[in-house]
Amino acid sequence: MGLCKVSGRVDRILFNIFLVLVAQSAIWQYNSPGLQLVVAAGGGSWEVVVRNAGIASMHTAVTHFGNVVLLDRTNIGPSLLPLPNGICRDNHRDQASKHDCTAHSALYTPGTNEVRPLFIFTDTWCSSGQFRADGTLVQTGGNLDGFSKIRTFTPCASGEDCNWVETETNLQQGRWYASNQQLPDGTAIVVGGRGAFTAEFVPANGRGQYHLPLLTETNDAQNDNFYPFVHLLPNNRLYIFANRDSILYNWEQQITLKRLPTIPGGPRNYPSAGSSVMLPLSAADDWATAEILICGGSEFGAFMDPRARLPASQTCGRILPLAANPEWAMENMPMRRNMGDMILLPTRQVLIINGAENGSQGWGFASNAVLNPVLYNPALAPGTRFDTLTATNIARVYHSTANLLPDGRILVAGSNSHEFYTFSPMFPTELRIEAFSPPYLAAGARPAIVAVPGALGYGQNFVVEVEYAAVPRGDIELNLLTAPYVTHSYAQGQRLLQLGVGAPVRTAAGGYAIATRAPPSAVILPAGYAMLFAVANGVPSEAAWVHVT
Ligand SMILES: *[C@@H]1O[C@H](CO)[C@@H](O)[C@H](O)[C@H]1NC(C)=O
């Protein structure tokens, strides 16, 4: 949690921080590894890929060069990653360190595991972002001197020299804890934030900022509506969820079209973070069916009384927002979880990973890290959808992230439950980066994409050539995934499209040729780079990046 400038609740929040600090020596024992929740289970494997990244990544995004932008906040004092060549950051508006020779962003390269420091000037704390059509990461807001900033990072191959750029254009309203979603018109909508009950567009293209009654109405005593869940639906409306409520929103006319039913259970957004995905869209029904899944969260009150260590939510809710009368279908996860990340896998399953069993978001507000990821199979019958997977031994609580890599692994970074870099026993600032290999990477031969056009137009027919050592039992799936901006347990802009495929045809070279078609429009997939995976017998290939415009 942050020390906010605007909230009338700051006194109580500060008092709670005080209580937590006083109580910390007693509480930390609850967080010793022996009392973390580990369920005996199988499936998947963990590897520490970087022992000391030097920064704890609060925001993480995979670029179309396959390297990964790690981004912490600047206003956090020195990190353990020096800036190169004697470069320092002299920012008189930084409250923690006005002369700072350490990096707060870095570029990580999977495989070589190199971490290259990046330079960022203004505070990016609790910011938001999206990749735009040309592959540039557009990152918005933050705190203090970064509150209204718009920054860009135009990615490059590892070994080249790309870096952050602070643009001259500002947000119309400062935004801290907002969510972004790339839109069919090539701009991103930026929704909400602390004390910001509006949406705006980046670039604005003449538009202003627009009041969102949902955000005002869901602003409860804990402000449980930061980092709202925002999904672009296949009818070009937005699904926006905050706290326990959601709407259909016409972004072109800035009109709330419909209020959906309240989800059962407690709040689901920061500081009571659950997470959310839109389940895969499919060519099989002409992209018509959109279904939203929200899992976990905290009990109301957990943030206001962090000493209580209230139990996290164990429920997930599923809803069809475009149905005539949408209703929540509820189900139970194998264990309670808040601050979980939900990641769409190339196999059209959902991985729920990271988080804790008690408390809420906020510095030192959680206990009982959940070390087991769970796999959710949306296509199976209720009651059979969850598998508990192999545990890590590294707690990933507040300010941790998870991202799908093009090689099919999940990159797990960050976790900092403290105001500064603090290596005390209670969930120390976590500088290790791990990769989790889901069970599909140990499930037999992997297909390999050997030929695919790199650039695709909407609706374009094309052929993908796949090498595969076994005979596929059914069709070889071709699934397209965007690279989201992941922070605070929510992957902004994440979507999975299951393309329509012809039957695999043997090629002279001994592989398979699969006829398919690019997504029909920017509503189904806003222009940009995406990862194309071939999936055979439940095993995904490595991704090929395609540029769809
Ligand atoms: C955490 O939540 C569990 C329920 O899942 C509860 O039994 C326990 O008392 C809570 N508090 C702590 C500190 O573990």
Which H or E run contains 478? strand 477-481
Atom 4, ligand 1: which residue's CA is nearest? Answer: 311
pLDDT given at position 426:
85
Tell which phi-psi region holds residue 439, choosing left (phi > 0), alpha (psi between -120 and 50) or beta: alpha
* pLDDT, tens only, 459-509: 999 999 999 999 999 999 999 999 999 999 999 999 999 999 999 999 999
DSSP bridge partners of 540: 535
Residue 358, ligand 1, Cβ within 6 A: yes
* Strand segments (E) across 73-213: 89-90, 99-100, 105-109, 114-118, 128-131, 137-140, 149-153, 164-170, 179-182, 188-191, 198-202, 210-211
Q: Which of 310, 333, 358 is the best mutation target for the ligand 1 pocket, counting ligand atoms within 8 Å of the beta carbon and taking the most?
A: 358
* Start and end residues for every CATH 2.130.10.80 domain found in the chain: 9-441
Atom 13, ligand 1: which residue's CA is nearest? Answer: 309
pLDDT given at position 42:
74
pTM of structure: 0.93
Specify the fold of 9-441. Answer: Methylamine Dehydrogenase; Chain H (2.130.10)
* Start and end residues for every CATH 2.60.40.10 domain found in the chain: 442-548
* pLDDT, tens only, 128-171: 999 999 999 999 999 999 999 999 999 999 999 999 999 999 99
Q: State which residues of the chain have pLDDT below 50.
A: 1-35
pLDDT given at position 495:
98
35 alpha carbon to ligand 1 midpoint, in Å?
11
DSSP bridge partners of 479: 498, 533
Residue 30, ligand 1, Cβ within 6 A: yes
Ligand 1 atom nearest residue 35's Cα? 14
* pLDDT, tens only, 388-442: 999 999 999 999 999 999 999 999 999 999 999 999 888 999 999 999 999 999 9
pLDDT given at position 23:
34
pLDDT given at position 499:
98
> CA–CA separation, 428 vs 58, rounded Å?
14
Atom 12, ligand 1: which residue's CA is nearest? Answer: 309
Atom 5, ligand 1: which residue's CA is nearest? Answer: 311
358 alpha carbon to ligand 1 midpoint, in Å?
6
Domain 442-548 superfamily per CATH: Immunoglobulins (2.60.40.10)
Which residue carries 């969510």 as its tokens? 179
pLDDT given at position 21:
38
pLDDT given at position 40:
52
DSSP bridge partners of 160: 158
Ligand 1 atom nearest residue 368's Cα? 14
309 alpha carbon to ligand 1 midpoint, in Å?
7
> CA–CA separation, 43 vs 391, rounded Å?
9
